[in-house]
Amino acid sequence: MAERQQVHEASSNDESPEPQTSRSWRRFKVSNMSLDEMVEMVDILKRANYDGKHGPYPNPNVRKAKIMTKVVKSLQKNFGVRRSKDQLRKRWSDLKLREQDQYRRIKRVLQKNDVDVVEEESHFTSASAHVLIGEITVCNRDLQKIKEDINDVEKRLKNIIDVLGRI
């Protein structure tokens, strides 16, 4: 009975004990996603056709789970933030349904990034074209010489075979 009173007295202190949290709540960050994180998530989900717009899939839920796993890993690797699949699913749903302005902004960023990549790869000037043409000409000359050498070796082999055939 005395033990019960002590436990009761200890639990009825003015200070409230810290709330107990489950392991799953402690494991993942619950803060807001940065724009960069959302862009990364939307990019992966769009490229992987997460919503399944491009055809019927035999196991859509398994497919979606695999895609979402890729998103979790990518966010962990690129931003150092662990988020649960459920958090990301909810965020994706919110972006599409409730936060359409934010979703449009993210799509613009992705389109701009695609254009930037194309522009970076298209630094092709007339000077670089002349350099490439020169290299191709040299390679063609070398290839022609190799073909001539092969023909010479084939002729020698044929002569050797003819001489051996006469013996």
Determine the pLDDT at residue 101.
86
**Could you tell me the residue ranges of all domains in the chain?**
23-121, 125-167
Tell me, what DSSP letter sits at residue 13?
S
The average pLDDT across 27-55 equals 80
CA angle 115, 118, 119 (to 5 degrees): 85
Nearest to 48 by CA among 32, 33, 26, 65: 65
The type of residue at 28 is F
Q: How far is the CA of 135 from the CAs of 90, 127, 131, 149, in angstroms?
A: 55, 13, 6, 21
pLDDT at 122: 53
* Token pair for 1: 């009975």
pLDDT in tens, 85-98: 999 999 888 888 88
**Torsional sign, CA 42, 39, 89, 48:** positive
Taking only the tens place, the pLDDT of each residue in 7-38 is 444 444 444 444 444 444 445 555 688 888 88
What is the tens place of the pLDDT at every residue in 116-166? Answer: 544 444 566 777 777 788 888 888 999 999 999 999 999 999 999 999 888
What pLDDT score does 154 carry?
A: 95
Q: Using only the alpha carbons of the chain, give its radius of gyration.
A: 34
Max CA separation in the chain (angstroms): 120
Q: Between 22 and 56, whose confidence is greater?
A: 56
State the pLDDT confidence band at 103, using cuts at 50, 70 and 90.
confident
HSE at residue 116, side-chain half, CA atoms within 13 A, is 6
Contact 52, 62 (CB under 8 A): no
